[in-house]
Amino acid sequence: MSRPPSSSACLTSLMVLTTLLPNFQAGSVSQVIAHDLIALLVAALLFRLLRLVAVYWLAVGFILSAFQAARSDRAHASISPDRFLKEFQ
Protein backbone atom coordinates (compact mmCIF):
# COMPACT_ATOMS: atom_id res chain seq x y z
CA MET A 1 0.00 0.00 0.00
CA SER A 2 1.26 3.45 -0.76
CA ARG A 3 1.02 6.10 1.87
CA PRO A 4 -0.42 9.55 1.24
CA PRO A 5 2.04 12.35 0.50
CA SER A 6 3.20 14.43 3.41
CA SER A 7 2.14 18.03 3.82
CA SER A 8 5.63 19.33 3.08
CA ALA A 9 5.75 17.37 -0.19
CA CYS A 10 2.35 18.78 -1.15
CA LEU A 11 3.49 22.28 -0.26
CA THR A 12 6.66 21.86 -2.32
CA SER A 13 4.64 20.60 -5.27
CA LEU A 14 2.24 23.52 -4.99
CA MET A 15 5.13 26.01 -4.88
CA VAL A 16 6.69 24.42 -7.95
CA LEU A 17 3.38 24.55 -9.81
CA THR A 18 2.73 28.19 -8.97
CA THR A 19 6.21 29.27 -10.04
CA LEU A 20 6.30 27.28 -13.27
CA LEU A 21 2.82 27.86 -14.67
CA PRO A 22 3.28 31.58 -15.52
CA ASN A 23 6.59 30.83 -17.28
CA PHE A 24 5.00 28.61 -19.94
CA GLN A 25 2.00 30.67 -21.02
CA ALA A 26 3.19 30.78 -24.62
CA GLY A 27 3.40 26.96 -24.88
CA SER A 28 0.62 24.49 -25.42
CA VAL A 29 -1.26 22.95 -22.54
CA SER A 30 0.46 19.60 -23.02
CA GLN A 31 3.89 21.28 -22.79
CA VAL A 32 2.88 23.03 -19.58
CA ILE A 33 1.60 19.78 -18.08
CA ALA A 34 4.74 17.91 -19.16
CA HIS A 35 7.04 20.55 -17.66
CA ASP A 36 5.02 20.65 -14.44
CA LEU A 37 5.07 16.86 -14.13
CA ILE A 38 8.83 16.81 -14.64
CA ALA A 39 9.25 19.55 -12.04
CA LEU A 40 7.06 17.62 -9.59
CA LEU A 41 9.03 14.46 -10.19
CA VAL A 42 12.34 16.25 -9.59
CA ALA A 43 10.98 17.90 -6.43
CA ALA A 44 9.70 14.57 -5.11
CA LEU A 45 13.00 12.84 -5.83
CA LEU A 46 15.00 15.61 -4.14
CA PHE A 47 12.71 15.48 -1.11
CA ARG A 48 13.12 11.70 -0.82
CA LEU A 49 16.89 11.98 -1.26
CA LEU A 50 17.10 14.63 1.44
CA ARG A 51 15.00 12.50 3.79
CA LEU A 52 17.18 9.46 3.07
CA VAL A 53 20.37 11.40 3.78
CA ALA A 54 18.90 12.72 7.04
CA VAL A 55 17.93 9.22 8.19
CA TYR A 56 21.36 7.81 7.38
CA TRP A 57 23.06 10.79 9.05
CA LEU A 58 21.08 10.16 12.25
CA ALA A 59 21.72 6.42 12.11
CA VAL A 60 25.47 6.84 11.64
CA GLY A 61 25.59 9.40 14.45
CA PHE A 62 23.68 7.08 16.76
CA ILE A 63 25.94 4.12 15.95
CA LEU A 64 29.10 6.19 16.43
CA SER A 65 27.89 7.54 19.76
CA ALA A 66 27.02 4.00 20.88
CA PHE A 67 30.54 2.82 19.98
CA GLN A 68 32.06 5.79 21.79
CA ALA A 69 29.96 5.07 24.89
CA ALA A 70 30.96 1.40 24.80
CA ARG A 71 34.64 2.34 24.43
CA SER A 72 34.32 4.77 27.34
CA ASP A 73 32.66 2.10 29.49
CA ARG A 74 35.45 -0.35 28.64
CA ALA A 75 38.09 2.22 29.57
CA HIS A 76 36.50 2.74 32.97
CA ALA A 77 36.00 -0.99 33.49
CA SER A 78 39.63 -1.82 32.68
CA ILE A 79 40.90 -0.69 36.10
CA SER A 80 41.44 -3.79 38.19
CA PRO A 81 40.25 -3.85 41.79
CA ASP A 82 43.82 -4.38 43.06
CA ARG A 83 45.09 -1.33 41.19
CA PHE A 84 42.13 0.69 42.45
CA LEU A 85 42.91 -0.26 46.06
CA LYS A 86 46.64 0.51 45.64
CA GLU A 87 45.93 3.97 44.22
CA PHE A 88 43.49 4.99 46.93
CA GLN A 89 45.25 3.59 50.03
Write down the pLDDT at residue 73: 66
Answer yes or no: is pLDDT of 24 > 60: no
**Who's near 20: CB < 8 A, 6+ residues apart?**
32, 35, 36, 39
Other beta carbons within 10 angstroms of residue 13's beta carbon come to 18
Q: How do residues 43-85 score in pLDDT, each as one tens digit?
A: 999 999 999 999 999 999 888 888 888 777 666 666 667 776 7
Give the start-to-end residue ranges of the domains of the chain: 7-87
Say what the pTM is. 0.45
The pLDDT, as a whole number, for residue 88 is: 72
User: What's the whole-number mean pLDDT along residues 29-50?
Assistant: 85
